[in-house]
């Protein structure tokens, strides 16, 4: 029986991915902070007839995460796939973020990925086998306003992953390292991300269901690639950043600030998960289901030629511009 371990496993992409691997017969290790949500997710995964074990840990704590990996190996067996998915963000202009807020986003989203990779390699390197998947974002290449810490962290993950991949290649390691760059997703992220605006926030359109991300991650686990870009908007944003970054800067100025805001105000009792988990059972989906797409195009970063990349970039940019315009 194969074993997968997922960080940030109790909501959104993490939970959808846990259920996808369980449906394929994997034993599943869950890592997150909230015990109640871990138990609820563990019960859902166990419904597929697979073994599942959950460990409550903050990915910022490198030693605790390494211990969690050892516990999961003891309970489930050797880890075949490790997925670094844990993240948090603060929705605000940089100048209104505190040092602690910026640091926390960086520590969870970036260093949590580094810590998870180290914990996975501790078990995979001696076996010379395994797949580590970093859940990335189009924002790893094309930053947007109001999410400077998160964009910086995702870009840092890409830099770290590229460096480590070359080290593994140099050693002729059997451990594969991949990154999956995602589009905007219909997860609960925007319900409990720290938001310093009076208005509710939303992902940059177009929006896709978390199951799209889960299917992409599962596919990479079966056939590892260097990078997978999911969604035409992701493809367009990444390639467009290489071809005409200045144009994208201007588009973000005109469209992406208001394009991340909804008309509704935040509820007065709103809580965020920046420093502490939001208690209770977490959900796979956010509240953007009516507009969320259930299918997405995807390409690997090394396949298309320049002509195809240019076409994809233009199509993606037109799509992003159209969707952002609708939000105004």
Residues known to be catalytic? 150
Q: Helix (H, G, I), strand (E, B), or coil: what is residue 200?
A: strand
Q: Helix (H, G, I), strand (E, B), or coil: what is residue 279?
A: coil
- Return the H-helix or E-strand segment holding 233: helix 232-243
Q: Helix (H, G, I), strand (E, B), or coil: what is residue 33?
A: coil
Closest Cα to residue 316, out of 216, 209, 234, 229? 234
Neighbouring residues of 66: CB distance < 8 A, sequence distance ≥ 6 = 115, 118, 119, 122
- Return the H-helix or E-strand segment holding 79: none
Closest Cα to residue 209, out of 136, 142, 282, 296? 296
Tell how strand 227-230 and strand 175-182 pair up.
parallel
């Amino acid at each position: 029986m194969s074993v997968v371990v997922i960080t940030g496993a109790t909501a959104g992409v993490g939970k959808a991915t846990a259920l996808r691997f369980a449906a394929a017969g994997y034993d599943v290790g869950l890592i997150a902070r909230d015990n109640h949500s871990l138990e609820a997710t563990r019960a859902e995964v166990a419904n597929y007839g697979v073994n599942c074990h959950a460990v409550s840990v903050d990915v910022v704590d490198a030693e605790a995460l390494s211990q969690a990996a050892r516990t999961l190996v003891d309970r489930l067996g050797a880890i075949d796939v490790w997925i670094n998915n844990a993240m948090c963000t603060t929705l605000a202009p940089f100048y209104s973020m505190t040092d602690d807020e910026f640091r926390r986003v960086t520590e969870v989203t970036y260093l949590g990925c580094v810590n998870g990779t180290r914990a996975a390699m501790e078990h995979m390197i001696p076996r010379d086998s395994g797949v580590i998947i970093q859940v990335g974002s189009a924002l790893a290449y094309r930053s947007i306003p109001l999410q400077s810490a998160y964009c910086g962290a995702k870009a840092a993950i890409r830099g770290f992953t590229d460096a480590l991949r070359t080290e593994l290649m140099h050693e002729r390691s059997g451990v594969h390292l991949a990154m999956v760059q995602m589009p905007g997703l219909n997860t609960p992220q925007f319900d409990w991300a720290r938001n310093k605006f009076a208005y509710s926030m939303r992902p940059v359109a177009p929006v896709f269901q978390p199951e799209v991300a889960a299917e992409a991650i599962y596919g990479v686990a079966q056939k590892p690639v260097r990078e997978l870009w999911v969604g035409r908007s992701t493809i367009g944003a990444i390639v467009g950043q290489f071809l005409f970054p200045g144009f994208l800067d201007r588009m973000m100025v005109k469209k992406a600030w208001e394009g991340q805001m909804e008309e509704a105000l935040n509820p007065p009792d709103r809580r965020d998960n920046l420093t502490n988990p939001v208690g209770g059972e977490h959900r796979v989906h956010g509240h953007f289901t009516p507009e969320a797409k259930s299918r997405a195009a995807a390409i690997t970063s090394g396949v298309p030629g320049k002509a195809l990349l240019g076409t994809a970039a233009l199509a993606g940019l037109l799509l992003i511009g159209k969707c952002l315009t609708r939000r105004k």
